[in-house]
Amino acid sequence: MFQTLKRLDRNIWIRFFGETITGIMMFMIAPFLVLYYSDKLDSYVQVGIIMATGPIMALIGSILGGRLADLYGRKPIMMIAILGDATALVGFAFADTFWPLLLLNAMLGLTNSLFHPAASAMVADVTEPEQMNEAFGLLRMGHNIGAAFGPLLGSAVLFIDRQYIFFAAAVAFVLYAMVLGKFIHESVPEVSDEGSPSNRDVLRVFYNDHVFLVFIFAGIFISMGFSLVESMLPLFLKESLPTYSNQENPFPYMLALNGIMVVLFQFPIASKLGNKPFGKVMLAGATIFGVGMILLALVPRFLYSIQTPYLILVGILMAVYAFYTLGEMIMSPVQQTFIALIAPENMRGAYNGAASIQWLIGGVTAPLMASLFFDHKAGHIALMLVGGASCLSGLIYWQLGRRVKAAEQKRQTA
């Protein structure tokens, strides 16, 4: 494992350290934002609209960011995106009503989505195919170091003026942009004018590559699951544990456990699964992920109904969340590797941008759907429905893997 890590490109390591720091700052804020919105706004529908606005803008930004990364390079797009994130964070320090929060979420969704297609394409540019699972697993581990420590720090400073937290996060993002500008090297492949894709070629990504389209369709339900759990789980728990205060909400501890697990186990899992069939791996991961969501919907309500002591309740919920996290760890690097392997070299940014659509559709639809259930005190139903749909996605991925394998065997024998 250590020999594999040593062989990874310098760009990967710079991103690992940068995203660890910025991840800590963001996860200081993220677990408490949805609770802040619900306290300040008139209805859960308004909360759902705010949570959905960012992904709507990200739909534009991800496609645009992928195309710009192919045309002008990965590095400048990544820097612009990070500085945009910092600007939005400063704005959050002063916003406490619906319209400012709505606009800032839209801005953050746009700038975040510019970053990820360029960054994922850069990983594919500088990494050999057999090392991609490890590279993506390492970066996800860095992100989840932030998920492990950020919520705990956020809980510790919850009573400090919120403005200081937002300003500190913005400063971290600016420093990350400066490091990218100074030390990262541009990795976009050099192609001749004849080899550069036209806008029409980029649009064909959406309707000519049927394998890619099925991949995106299956990913929508997975992205809905991620969106519900990461952005709305504090409200699910608040609804299921109605007499608990915001400070007693178990979500920060569960999110910290998620980060710790990814830090400890993501890279070994990614390395172990690197040569396994895509379809079988995704079937296992999506099934565990979906069943974990269903348990998250049912277990808190059951434990509360039988008056389980707080510490025991938190311990059981953390065990359920660990099961959910296992499915997440199985799927995430394999998904990114699949995109990197099927994308033409000169269209990696466009493919990563197009792949973001699955996350954006899920990120828009899941909070809006959940908010309607919340207004009827039935948020757990939304979690169960999406958990079942995630299991269905596993079957779609399995069939997709069989189709890709059959196509490869046919080419080899032709």
* Cβ 269 vs Cβ 330: under 8 Å: yes
DSSP character at residue 344: -
pLDDT of 197 > 60? The answer is no
The model's pLDDT over 242-270, given as tens digits with 9 standing for 90+, comes to 988 877 889 888 888 887 887 788 778 87
* Cβ 144 vs Cβ 266: under 8 Å: yes
pLDDT of 74 > 60? The answer is yes
Token pair, residue 358, equals 């699955």
The model's pLDDT over 77-128, given as tens digits with 9 standing for 90+, comes to 999 999 999 999 899 888 878 889 889 888 988 888 888 888 888 888 888 8
The model's pLDDT over 46-67, given as tens digits with 9 standing for 90+, comes to 888 887 787 778 778 877 887 8
CA dist 224 to 88, 108, 325, Å?
Answer: 24, 19, 15
Q: Which CATH architecture has domain 8-187+197-413?
A: Up-down Bundle (1.20)
Token pair, residue 63, equals 């496609």
121, 15, 142: which is closest to 62 by C-alpha?
121
| Local confidence band at 194 (pLDDT 50, 70, 90 cut-offs) | very low
pLDDT on residue 112:
81
298 CB-near residues (< 8 Å, 6+ apart): 380, 384
153 CB-near residues (< 8 Å, 6+ apart): 24, 28
* Cβ 134 vs Cβ 4: under 8 Å: yes
| Local confidence band at 198 (pLDDT 50, 70, 90 cut-offs) | low
The model's pLDDT over 330-378, given as tens digits with 9 standing for 90+, comes to 998 788 778 877 777 777 777 777 777 787 788 778 888 888 888 888 8
324, 334, 317: which is closest to 253 by C-alpha?
317
So where are the chain's domains? 8-187+197-413
